[in-house]
């Protein structure tokens, strides 16, 4: 009889909406070697996501959506294992990354190491994006439960930890945008979140910094970070990243200059 490999003391934590098309691939990559899967699922979701999670032995907690940061901190409160591996439904732990995590947790005890970061490799426009702003895109997703918490802004969250962080080489595979449409549709959503933060901080709008930021984003992604090596996809991403920066900052201009249109009879 084959021996069953011991599982690692990891709670895999996700927050999810309607993800029946993608979440199985994510959960398959962590099943069998982690000890627990916990998912906070949006209260209104009615597709097959919950049953898929159950099929992998995961625990589902229904909760109304209250923002990425708050939702991700909520799922941490349900984790029971010493370590947390935080994933999104469109992410997959590669075999190489799994081996490194197993070596890290199964090796000698290093109390000074409380977290690990690793590169995230994104599939987009029919290819892996290996340059530009999208790679290596290191993310900190593995951490001791009592040492980490989600922080950052509403549109850009990240894990904050107290203690040493180890950098791993294995890739976290990212299947975030199945089409250009799904990618472009995210731009106004994040621009609206950014506008709310600018208004709360009392930011003043000035044209030259806005234009400069957009131009810099293209130059950095395409030339400094060698996005041109990813072919046309690299050019598209550099250009669309610059455009997204322009939209984010122009939202404030639009908000500050909103006024009712003139009477249509004024030009008659």
pLDDT, residue 268, reads: 56
Mean pLDDT across the chain, nearest whole number? 93
**CA 141/CA 163 separation, integer angstroms:** 14
For residues 217 and 241, is the Cβ–Cβ distance under 8 A?
Answer: yes
Q: Tens of pLDDT along 2-32?
A: 445 679 999 999 999 999 999 999 999 999 9
Q: Tens of pLDDT along 96-148?
A: 999 999 999 986 567 789 999 999 999 999 999 999 999 999 999 999 999 99
pLDDT, residue 106, reads: 84
Start-end of H helices in 11-141: 23-28, 49-55, 68-76, 95-106
Q: Tens of pLDDT along 215-261?
A: 999 999 999 999 999 999 999 999 999 999 999 999 999 999 988 88
- What are the structural domains, with CATH classification, of the chain? 8-174 (3.90.550.10), 180-256 (no CATH)
User: For the whole model, what pTM was predicted?
Assistant: 0.91
For residues 119 and 136, is the Cβ–Cβ distance under 8 A?
Answer: yes
pLDDT, residue 2, reads: 41
pLDDT above 80 for 82: yes
């Amino acid at each position: 009889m084959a021996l069953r490999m011991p599982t690692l003391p990891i709670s895999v934590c996700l927050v999810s909406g309607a993800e029946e098309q993608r979440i199985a691939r994510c959960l398959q990559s962590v099943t069998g070697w982690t000890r627990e899967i916990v998912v906070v699922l949006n209260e209104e979701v009615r597709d097959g996501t919950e049953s898929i999670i159950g099929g992998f032995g995961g625990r589902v907690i229904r909760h109304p959506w209250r923002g990425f940061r708050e939702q991700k901190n909520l799922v941490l409160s349900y984790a029971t294992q010493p370590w947390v591996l935080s994933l999104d439904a469109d992410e997959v732990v590669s075999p190489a990354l799994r081996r490194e995590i197993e070596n890290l947790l199964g090796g000698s005890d290093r109390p000074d190491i409380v977290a690990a970061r690793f590169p995230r490799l994104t599939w987009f426009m029919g290819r892996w994006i290996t340059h530009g702003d999208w790679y290596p895109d290191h993310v900190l997703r593995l951490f001791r439960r009592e040492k980490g918490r989600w922080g950052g802004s509403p549109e850009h969250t990240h894990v904050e930890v107290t203690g040493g962080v180890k950098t791993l080489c294995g890739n976290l595979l990212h299947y975030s945008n199945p089409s250009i449409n799904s990618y472009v549709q995210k731009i106004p959503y994040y621009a609206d979140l950014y506008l709310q933060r600018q208004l709360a901080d009392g930011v003043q709008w000035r044209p030259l910094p806005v234009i400069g930021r957009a131009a810099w984003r293209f130059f950095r992604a395409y030339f400094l970070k060698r996005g041109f090596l990813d072919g046309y996809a690299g050019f598209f991403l550099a250009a669309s990243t610059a455009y997204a920066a322009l939209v984010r900052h122009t939202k404030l201009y639009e908000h500050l200059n909103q006024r009712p249109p003139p009477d249509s009879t004024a030009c008659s």
